[in-house]
Chains A and B, each alone.
Chain A
Amino acid sequence: MSIQDPSSPTTWRRFRDSYFLYRLQRDRRAQICMTLFVAMMASLLLTPWLAPSNPYDLAQISLLDSELPPLWIAGSDPAHLLGTDAQGRDLLSTMLYGARVSIAIGFGAVLVQSLLGTALGLLAGYRGGVIDTLLMRMADIQLSFSTLMMAIVIGAVVKAAFGGAFYGDYGVAILILIIGLSEWPQYARTVRASVLAEKQKEYVDAARVLGFSNYRIMWRHILPNALAPIFVLSTVQIANAIMAEAALSFLGLGMPETEPSLGSLIKSGFDYLQSGSWWITLLPGLLLVALVLVINLLGDWLRDTLNPRLHRARHEDSR
């Protein structure tokens, strides 16, 4: 047993006293979103144990079972709660595994874009001058083309250059890179704006007077102040990345059907929509929407919570 110094708060205590937790305790909708999000993440982590079958294991799949409807529709098989897809894979298992792929790509892409965008944004904001102009003009152009268009163009070029088989082998990595490369301007802009605001402040002058290196000032002094907006942006961007991945997969520029993400599941099911097997495409679609919606709602709430400055300003304005 170690004795804690009562004057220095522990991480746990700081968390317990934080404004974040205070707001969470007062907001019913945020609690529901948080719970749903945690439940979703947990079930995706535990998928190998939760899923009724393994859709990647060909031995468990029988083509005879293809296009079985969900349990509540006549002609269903109790072994398959949500029915099966056109290849006889259990839909619930396929969806869970697919959502894992989607989430992995979402997080990976956000990691890439946040690292790239933060580094470039810091550089642009702190250095200014030609580097700033050049980088920001690039970001402007990319944003004006819409990030989805950018991702599709990069994806198209990769596919045209290397052929479809290439996707089968490196799908996840390629998609992470494509989405990461096409969305970095969002981060660069946000970070640059915070850097420009922080740079004016006296503590940066003080750090400079003390003789700290530019590198240290950027990473240790300015960046921590830009973390809140980066965090808020990241939640929205994860949702965006998941959507972008789904769009790319739907266009055939994403995950192959052998290792499907939610997007490619929707795509493969689309062909069977006309034959009445709506569940193959609409149920994965529903899961995708639920996932994105929960993340978006959390993002909305985080933005309001972590940005009390914005709120206070509003209230003061309205006498």
Chain B
Amino acid sequence: MIMFLIRRLCQALAVMFVISVIGFAIQGGLGDPVQQMLGPTASEAESTTLRHSLGLDQPLWAQYLHFAGNAVRLNFGNSYFFHEPALSVIARYLPATLELVAASALLTLVLSVPIGVFCAIRPRSWPSKALMGLSVLGISVPVFLSAMVLIQLFSIGVQVTLFPADTQWGNWLNQLLSIEGGMPAYGRGNPVHVWGVWYTNFASLQGLVYLLLPALSLAFVMLPLFVRLIHAEMLDVLESDYVKYAKARGLRPSRIYFLHALKNTLLPVVTLGGVQIGTLVAYTLLTETVFQWPGAGLMFLDAIERADMPLIVAYLMVIGLMFVVTNTLVDLVYRLLNPRVILTRSVA
């Protein structure tokens, strides 16, 4: 186990090295910070001095070492737009994104396991056929579209005028099918301070209401994938000898399905889940755009619009670190869940 930890740590460091090189390349290779800082009217002498003071006249490897040294000390320079350290800008925006990711991951987990298990246990029943059909549809719907449909349905509302409004039944049907809307679909509302430091949507009903639509739309990304995976894995596991043996021992079906089968099903699900957390973070960019959720994704897109290089690089490094940490954690959880120690597994 200790050897595994050490090897895993080395891998993580190597990946971080690659990411930092990419970050360095973006910062150094694109855009001219000197021009950015001084404006187009600066004289040649001014820019040379600044170039020297920034270390831009040194060889590349020295510049990289300088960059890496700063990065290790969590210094990515000041944001051009906010005029404050890039990392503190990110620290301000990231919690909103993390809350969104956590809420939708929770929703995904809570919904996908029962649905996937149900569809595997009763593969011929009509609800499971419908659910599996929906999951195919689900993977074909882009996240921003499901977000907009949610907004249209629950925030703007739908007025049905399909049936004649002058008859009583038509009126009744119109009203039955119409949706009031009114759910908040813009921003975070007023999050509550908890214990003085934690500024959160989880602690108040209003905060949760604001969180619901964005989290739901983000959950729709992963939900069909997880349902399909759990369903497929569970079907395989249900055919296995140990499940047949459990039946032959007269165990209760609930114990067979939810302990014997599910525990074996969860192994690949955990692996996929870890990999998909990266995708989830990527999709926050889209969700935050649609719902104007003031998180790191929206901040990143603004930074691109403003060519705010330090902020872009800092965001990439932070997200990169997040991916590396979650992947390492997933590997650890996998080993804890799986008593059969698999020695050769290669995931970055």
Interface residues of A (CB under 8 A from B): 136-137, 140-141, 143-146, 148-149, 152-153, 156-157, 159-161, 239, 243, 246-247, 250-253, 263, 266, 270, 273-274, 276, 278, 281-282, 285, 288-289, 292-293, 296-297, 300, 317-318
CA distance A52 to B290 in the complex (A): 31
Closest to B290 in A: A270
Q: Which of A136, A253, A278 has the most CB of B within 10 A?
A: A278
Beta-carbon contact of A296 and B139 below 8 Å = yes
Q: How far is the CB of B260 from chain A (nearest CB, A)?
A: 17
A136 contact set on B, CB distance < 8 A: 346
Q: What residue in chain A is nearest B319 (Cβ atoms)?
A: A149
From B31, B148, B283, B320, contact of A282 by CB (8 A)? B148
Tell whether, in the assembled complex, residue A145 and residue B320 are in contact, meaning their CB atoms are under 8 Å apart.
Answer: yes
A300–B281 Cα distance when bound, in Å, is 27
- Of A140, A148, A239, A300, which is in contact with the most chain B CB atoms at under 10 Å from its CB? A148
- CB contacts (< 8 Å) of A137 on chain B: these are 346, 348
A144 touches B285 (CB 8 A): no
- Which residues from B are CB-within-8-Å of A263? 142
Minimum Cβ distance to chain B for residue A111 (Å): 22
The 7 nearest A-B residue pairs measured at CB: A149-B282, A146-B278, A146-B279, A140-B348, A293-B140, A161-B30, A292-B140
What B residues does A149 contact at CB under 8 A? Answer: 278-279, 281-282, 319
A288→B300 CA distance, assembly (Å): 26
Give, as a whole number of angstroms, the nearest-CB distance from B309 to chain A. 7
Residues of A within 8 A of B312 (CB): 156-157, 160
B145 interfacial by beta-carbon distance below 8 Å: yes
A–B complex contacts, Cβ < 8 Å, 6 sampled: A141-B348, A143-B348, A144-B347, A289-B140, A289-B145, A318-B239
B140 touching A239, Cβ below 8 Å: yes
Q: Once the chains bind, are A285 and B316 in contact (CB under 8 Å)? A: no
- Please give the distance in Å from B186's CB to the nearest CB on chain A: 9
A185 → chain B closest CB, angstroms: 11
Contact A252 B301 (CB under 8 A): yes
Enumerate chain B residues within 8 angstroms of A281, measured Cβ to Cβ. 148
Q: Is the CB of A153 within 8 A of B316?
A: yes
Q: How far is the CA of A281 from the CA of B290 in the complex (A)?
A: 12
Which chain A positions have C-beta within 8 A of B346? Answer: 136-137, 140
Pairwise interchain contact B142-A243, C-beta atoms closer than 8 A: yes
Contact at B142–A247, with CB atoms within 8 Å? Answer: yes
**Given A160-B304, A285-B148, residue A148 in contact with residue B136 (CB < 8 A):** no
**Chain A residues in 8 Å Cβ range of B285:** 152, 251
The answer on a CB contact under 8 Å between B348 and A250 is: no
Query: Considering only CB atoms, which chain A residue lies closest to B304 in the complex?
Result: A156
Bound together, the chains give a CA A62 to CA B319 distance in angstroms of: 46
Known: A289-B140, A289-B145, A318-B239. A140 touches B30 (CB 8 A): no
Taking CB atoms, residues of chain B closer than 8 Å to A246 are 142, 144
Provided the pairs A243-B142, A251-B285 are in contact, do residues A289 and B137 lie with their beta carbons within 8 angstroms?
yes
Main DSSP-derived SS at the A contact region: helix
Chain B residues with a Cβ closer than 8 Å to the other chain, count: 46
Which residues on A sit within 8 Å (CB–CB) of B152? 273, 278, 282
Q: Known: A145-B278, A285-B145, A317-B239. Is A160-B307 also a contact (CB below 8 A)?
A: yes
Residues of B within 8 A of A148 (CB): 279, 282-283
**B140 contacts A296, CB within 8 Å?**
yes
Chain A residues near B286: list those with CB within 8 A.
247, 250-251
- Asked if A266 contacts B144 (CB within 8 A), the reply is yes
Whole-angstrom distance between the alpha carbons of A136 and B151 in the complex?
42
- Which chain B residues (68-124) contact chain A, with CB distance < 8 Å? none
Across-interface contacts of A276 in B (CB, < 8 A):
156
Task: Tell me, yes or no, whether B149 is within 8 Å of chain A by CB.
Answer: yes
Q: Which of chain B's residues have a CB closer than 8 A to the CB of A282?
A: 145, 148-149, 152
A273 to B30, CA, bound (A): 37
**Residues on A with beta carbons closer than 8 Å to the beta carbon of B217:** none
Q: Does B275 contact A (CB under 8 A)?
A: yes
- Which single residue of chain B is at the shortest CB-CB distance from A239? B140
Question: Nearest chain B CB to A221's CB is how many angstroms away?
Answer: 27
Residue B20 CB within 8 A of the other chain: no
Min CB distance A155 to B, Å, is 9
A residues within 8 A CB of B212? none
With both beta carbons as reference points, the residue of chain B lying nearest to A163 in the complex is identified as: B307
Q: Is the CB of A143 within 8 A of B275?
A: yes
Are the CB atoms of A247 and B144 closer together than 8 Å? yes
Considering the complex, give the chain B residue whose CB is closest to the CB of A269: B148
Q: How far is the CB of B105 from chain A (nearest CB, A)?
A: 14
- Once the chains are docked, how many angstroms separate the CA of A273 from the CA of B139? 23
State in angstroms the CA–CA spacing of A282 and B149 once bound together. 8
How far, in angstroms, from A288 to B141 measured CA to CA in the complex? 8
| B window 251-303: CB within 8 A of A | 275-276, 278-279, 281-283, 285-286, 289-290, 300-301
User: Closest chain B residue to A297 by CB distance?
Assistant: B136
Residues of B within 8 A of A274 (CB): 156
Cα-based distance from A296 to B136 in the complex (angstroms):
8
Q: Does B201 lie at the interface of the complex (its beta carbon under 8 Å from any beta carbon of A)? A: no
A161 to B27, CA, bound (A): 10
Centre residue among A157, A273, A289 by max chain B CB count within 10 A: A157
A160 engages B30 (CB within 8 Å): yes
* Cβ B142 vs Cβ A293 within 8 A: no
Q: Are A288 and B142 in touch, CB under 8 angstroms?
A: yes
Given A157-B30, A293-B136, do A251 and B239 touch, yes or no (CB 8 Å)?
Answer: no
